[in-house]
Amino acid sequence: MTITKLRRQLLAGETTPAAILESLAGQIAARDGQTGAYLTHDLESALAEAAQSDLSLPLGGIPIAIKDNINVLGQPCTCGSKFLRNYVSPYDASVIRKLRAAGAIPFGRMNMDEFAMGSATENSALQVTRNPRDLSRIPGGSSGGSAAAVADLTAIAALGSDTGGSIRQPASHCGVVGLKPSYGRVSRYGLVAFASSLDQIGPITQTVEDAALILQAISGSDPLDSTCLDAPVPDFLAGLHDGVKGLKLGIPKEYFGHGIAPGVRKAVESAIESLATQGAEIVEISLPHTEHAVATYYVLAPAEASSNLSRFDGIRYGHRASNPIDILDLYKKSREQGFGPEVKRRIILGTYVLSSGYYDAYYSRAQKVRILVQRDFENAFKQVDAILSPVSPSPARKIGQFSDDPLHEYLSDIFTIAANLAGIPGISVPCGTTDDDGGNNLPVGIQILAPRLGEAKLLQIAKAVESRDVI
């Protein structure tokens, strides 16, 4: 059931928040043993909140699953890492306070790539999550648990985080809706930082309307986050059904070259044709610095990660090594034992590009290229209202297929990371399925990108894609 349908039932007295929670708990018990989307869920605490639900609020009585790098008071926040296996949050993130203010009930901690570093949820140190559309395949990442639960109907909706595609890519792989807001639209306070200039929290839902409802609740200024914008929050539902007639939509030629699986190309092009049939004007555009986006991202994001993760030292919280020789040995052993291979790889890479003699050659140059990527989008949005592209070059791969090839994983984000570099909003909407790579009916998502703070237009176009009877 979607948020919209459940809200109608709640207001009509046909169900209760407690009944919804108990039904979800039954679904989790029956199905999550195969999918592995949930790390923990506390039904007793959620039922206590449900007893106080105000059904007059926009999300009154609706349980929302939470990615395990967003702090919820009294609940674990492991970030999918051994380092924080026993950590319990002493506070609520700002998005959690806003969800509660809108009547929602946080329910369940969702598996993820360790510290959000990965595109498959294979880098979780705690368990494997499988794609409910094909249990032999990855759900995508790093918000793989959130997307898998929504697709498996063990969650009504979920929050994820997106640093380079970590909401949109798993949403595409699992056949659900995933929205990354503009940088600064949603507070990051209480999100465990990976790359602070790139991270954003956003919804993963079954429908575009549900995504709009959650975005409405969590958007807005926050004095606890200096990067959160004090900008008006429009009514994201108001123009949802306005259609695309008269809109000009751009197709970047750099995003439709070699390397896209035939089934992905076919599904995305079919969605584009449908938008044209609905009255949109489709035009080719260029984003000339696209070829440099992956390299730029994998300099900047690890650099910020190496700085942010320096706080995990075994002293204040998290894993602490036993019997160290001295304080330096404690730091070394705690971090060596607590962090997984991908986290270590990115810390090492980030420390290298920030080190003396290499800062100008790598980090400083990457910041300059980031500006060029931002300008590409600024110029494009002078010509078009939004941009359309695939989310991922291929459908969900087999579990373990490229787990020893980090470069292949990094390149799988080629269509998503530029939006994070530019700070613009993006959404993945299901647009069909493919049988590429020997799979059957593997979901495909189309990516829609809009100018900064253009989420209302983004959702309007996404709704037009969703209205097609193809899924």
**Catalytic (active site) residue 67:** yes
> What predicted TM-score, i.e. pTM, was given to this entire model?
0.97
What is the DSSP code string of 174-242? HTSEEEEPPTTTB--TTBPPSSTTT-EEEEEESSHHHHHHHHHHHBS--TT-TTS-------TTTTTTS
Q: From edge to edge, which strands make up the β-sheet containing 38-40? A: 38-40, 105-110, 63-67, 157-162, 200-205, 177-180, 426-434, 442-449, 386-390, 248-252, 281-285
Q: What is the pLDDT of residue 312?
A: 96
pLDDT tens, residue order, the chain (471 aa) = 899 999 999 999 999 999 999 999 999 999 999 999 999 999 999 999 999 999 999 999 999 999 999 999 999 999 999 999 999 999 999 999 999 999 999 999 999 999 999 999 999 999 999 999 999 999 999 999 999 999 999 999 999 999 999 999 999 999 999 999 999 999 999 999 999 999 999 999 999 999 999 999 999 999 999 999 999 999 999 999 999 999 999 999 999 988 899 999 999 999 999 999 999 999 999 999 999 999 999 999 999 999 999 999 999 899 999 999 999 999 999 999 999 999 999 999 999 999 988 999 999 999 999 999 999 999 999 999 999 999 999 999 999 998 778 888 888 899 999 999 999 999 999 999 997 666 678 999 999 999 999 999 999 999 999 997 543
Which pLDDT score, from 0 to 100, does residue 470 have?
Answer: 41
Q: In the prediction, which pLDDT does 437 show?
A: 61
Q: Cβ neighbours of residue 181 under 8 Å, at least 6 residues apart?
A: 200, 201, 202, 215, 219, 425, 455
Q: What is the pLDDT of residue 310?
A: 95
Give me the pLDDT at residue 438, please.
Answer: 66
- Confidence at residue 410, expressed as pLDDT on a 0 to 100 scale: 86
Give CA separation, 328 vs 314, 316, 339, in Å. 11, 15, 17
pLDDT at position 471:
37
Catalytic residue among 81, 124, 146, 166: 166
| 148 within 8 A of 168, measured Cβ to Cβ | no
Residue 390's CATH number:
3.90.1300.10
| 316: three-class secondary structure by DSSP | coil
Q: Is 226 one of the annotated active-site residues of the chain?
A: no
Q: Please name which of 5, 77, 70, 80 lies closest in space to residue 37, comparing C-alpha atoms.
A: 80
List, as one string, the DSSP characters of 232-271: ----TTTTTTS--TT-EEEEEGGGSSTT--HHHHHHHHHH
Tell which residue, 196, 141, 177, 197, has the closest CA to residue 409.
141
**Domain membership of residue 426 as a residue range:** 1-471
- Distance, in Å, from the CA atom of 404 to the CA atom of 267, rounded to the nearest integer, reads 29
CA gap 239, 470 in Å, rounded: 23
The rounded distance, in Å, linking the Cα atoms of 464 and 450 is 15
The phi, psi pair for 430, rounded to 5°, reads -55, 135
Find the catalytic residue in 81, 119, 124, 142. 142
In 3D space, the residue among 68, 240, 37 whose CA is nearest the CA of residue 150 turns out to be 37
Distance CA 190, CA 77 (A): 10
The CA dihedral of 304, 417, 444, 117, to the nearest 10 degrees, is -10
Cα–Cα distance measured from residue 439 to residue 83, given in angstroms and rounded to the nearest whole number: 36
20's CB contacts (< 8 A; 6+ apart) are: 6, 10, 50, 61, 62, 63, 156
Predicted confidence at residue 408, as pLDDT, reads: 81
The question of whether 142 is a catalytic residue gets the answer yes
> Greatest CA span in the chain, whole angstroms?
70
Residue with tokens 């309307």: 209
Is there a contact between 338 and 83 (Cβ–Cβ < 8 Å)? yes
Residues 250, 384: contact at Cβ < 8 Å? yes
The helix (H) or strand (E) run that includes residue 443 is strand 442-449
Q: Of 220, 219, 211, 108, which is closest to residue 168 (Cα–Cα)? A: 211
Counted domains in the chain: 1
42-67: pLDDT as tens digits: 999 999 999 999 999 999 999 999 99
